[in-house]
């Protein structure tokens, strides 16, 4: 295993980014008591607290799930099918008009959810490899507490605290992926 030292000054202490990121995050409990000015009772919940350092060292943002919009599209399509079949029976004109309105809304929801699922699926296909590479790089990244810079071993480029490390790594991985695709098309 290669020695871990700061690229700016080998005497500076170095810490693994994932451990430092996790140590700067905490889940806190929240309890609110309602008094005489409103409804009596209490509300309980949880929130995620994060230090500014942990926020700067955040991993690449996860790609949005594409399966949920598919479920919405299927349910809306089912509702639309039900409404179309329900209008086939003998109903009053007012009931048929109401069902057609709800059917039109269900069709719009199904189309919008289907389009959302399709675009998210394309994002997974296009950026999935880059996201995986950026996540692997983030898991290997180091941080220097004195310089305030982070880097990936075997990569001389450093990232300051003024930029989010995970997003920088994702941008680099996407650029490398695009460059590799251009080279494969050219040669």
Instruction: Encode pLDDT of 51-80 as tens digits.
Output: 999 989 999 987 766 667 677 777 777 777
pTM of structure: 0.62
Instruction: Encode pLDDT of 106-143 as tens digits.
Output: 778 878 887 887 887 777 777 888 888 899 999 999 99
The CA distance from 16 to 57, in Å, is 10
Q: Is residue 46 helix, strand or coil?
A: strand
Tokens representing 144? Answer: 């220097």
């Amino acid at each position: 295993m290669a020695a871990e030292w700061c690229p700016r000054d080998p005497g500076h202490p170095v810490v693994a980014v994932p451990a430092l990121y996790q140590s700067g995050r905490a889940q806190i409990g929240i309890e609110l008591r309602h008094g005489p000015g409103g409804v009596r009772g209490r509300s309980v919940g949880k929130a995620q607290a994060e230090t500014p350092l942990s926020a700067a060292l955040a991993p690449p943002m996860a790609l949005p799930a594409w399966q949920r919009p598919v479920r919405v599209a299927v349910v809306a399509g089912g509702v639309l099918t039900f409404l179309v079949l329900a209008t086939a029976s003998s109903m009053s004109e007012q009931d048929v008009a109401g069902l057609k309105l709800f059917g039109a809304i269900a069709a719009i929801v199904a189309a919008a959810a289907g389009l959302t699922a399709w675009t998210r699926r394309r994002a997974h296909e296009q950026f999935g490899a880059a996201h995986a590479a950026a996540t692997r790089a983030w898991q290997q990244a180091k941080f220097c507490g004195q310089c305030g810079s982070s880097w990936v071993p075997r990569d001389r480029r450093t990232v300051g605290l003024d930029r989010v490390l995970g997003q920088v790594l994702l941008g680099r991985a996407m650029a490398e992926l695009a460059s590799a695709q251009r080279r494969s098309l050219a040669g």
